[in-house]
Amino acid sequence: MLTLKRIKQNSQAVVEALARKGVEAREAIAQVVDLDQARRALQAEADTLQANINQASKEIGTLMRQGQQQAAEQLKANVATFKEKVKAATERMGQIDHELSEILVQLPNLPHESVPDGRTADDNLVVRTEGELPEPSAARLPHWEVAARLGIINFELGVKITGSGFPLYLGAGARLERSLINFFLEENSKAGYLEVMPPIMVNADSAYATGQLPDKEGQMYHVPQDGFYLVPTAEVPLTNIYRDAILEERELPVRITAYTPCFRREAGSYGKDVRGLNRLHQFDKVEIVCIDTPARSYDRLEEMVQHVELLLQKLELPYRVLKLCAGDMSFTSALTYDLEVYSAGQDRWLEVSSVSNFEDYQANRLQLRYRSETEKRNVLAHTLNGSSLALPRVVAALLENHQTAHGVRIPKALQPWMGVEELRWK
């Protein structure tokens, strides 16, 4: 959530920054400024009234001791009037706080100044491309055909059991998922991330704190009887560990990682983009989350991107890094890098990771602060997160890029977990 301080410092700059994300916010920002001014005026009025009450209370005692009963009673009547006015001002301030919150939660984060302009994915900036693309070949199969030939993923049974977007992994397919999860968690742990096993359902407060509510309510699976939401990403429970927390600066950076199944309704998805493993309602993902100071958060962002790149290199997959344009970024992000792997069987790029810096946007909603050693006060932290990695499209790329005459080659880094060097055609 944007801070009032940032809005008041330069409301025009905030309006212009939000316009880069395709949000017309001039009227909303003007409302925020007006409401804040009204609240400050009410607070000043309440403070003055309270001072009058305190002074009158002292005078009442003096008058009573002097036997001036009538004057004391008049002051008591004045105090009663003052208290009613304080109560009214306090109630109105509460209403204003609610109105301010309702407006602020509807406003996305501001894009970082380095974020390129643009509206759609076509405007994203390719930062670098790594690895050699496989030679085009008519014999190279898309992953859904590879999976069927190997007998490792059954999409039809998933439809029978639940519905589309819920594949069933069998034998080596299940082992491949488990191997990738173990590999990612082990690599993350080596890089200094503390492994956590969080709940996969969260309450509304948690979804609100990380920005899924109200922005993505329609994309989340909801359990209305209990008010719980199935997690769309481990970012939600991991970041909420630190909701309403005040950390010591020496504790930063915080680095945590977790595997969870993830659930997204993906309403309106259709066509080639959803075939096979391209877009699912339930999928496995390993997440990394980092919390640090504002001065260091962009260094952490680059480190996280490099870590994800290293994972893709160890899986021997060609990939590229994109800096998202302002219009294609998420609601909560200030700057996002997407990492995409090349899909040889589909001749297209598939996103497998988004690594984002939210600056203090999430922290303001979370009320996550740290005690600054230099400023000698509590300061909003910066939060970051990234996929490390999302499995479905990684599996798709492995099955498509590593095809051989005999089946699918397993990258060396994954062989200790899989126990085989190749999955053979049946």
Residue 264 annotated as part of some ligand binding site: yes
Residue 266 annotated as binding site:
yes
354 is in an annotated binding site: yes
Tell me how far apart the alpha carbons of residues 110 and 1 are, in angstroms, rounded to a whole number: 10
How many CB atoms within 10 Å of residue 39? 20
State the alpha helices, DSSP H only, in 191-331. Answer: 204-209, 235-240, 297-314
Whether residue 303 is annotated as binding a ligand: the answer is: no
279 annotated to a ligand binding site: no
The alpha-helical segments, DSSP class H, found in 105-242 are: 143-150, 155-161, 172-190, 204-209, 235-240
Whether 113 has a binding-site annotation, put simply, is: no
CA 423 to chain centre: 36
Per the annotation, does 130 bind a ligand? no
Sheet holding 319-323, edge to edge: 125-130, 319-323, 335-343, 348-357, 382-390, 282-292, 254-263, 194-195
Query: Token pair for residue 77?
Result: 């009547």
Going from the N-terminus, what domains does the chain have, and what CATH number goes with each?
A: 4-104 (1.10.287.40), 121-424 (3.30.930.10)
Give the pTM: 0.93
CB atoms inside a 10 Å sphere around CB 163: 10
From first to last of its 426 residues, the chain has per-residue pLDDT tens of 999 999 999 999 999 999 999 999 999 999 999 999 999 999 999 999 999 999 998 898 888 888 888 888 899 999 999 999 999 999 999 999 999 999 999 999 999 999 999 999 999 999 999 999 988 777 789 999 999 999 999 999 999 999 999 999 999 999 999 999 999 999 999 999 999 999 999 999 999 999 999 888 889 999 999 999 999 999 999 999 999 999 999 999 999 999 999 999 975 455 556 789 999 999 999 999 999 999 999 999 999 999 999 999 999 999 999 999 999 999 999 999 999 999 999 999 999 999 999 999 999 999 999 999 999 999 999 999 999 999 999 999 999 999 999 999 999 999 999 999 999 998
203 is in an annotated binding site: no
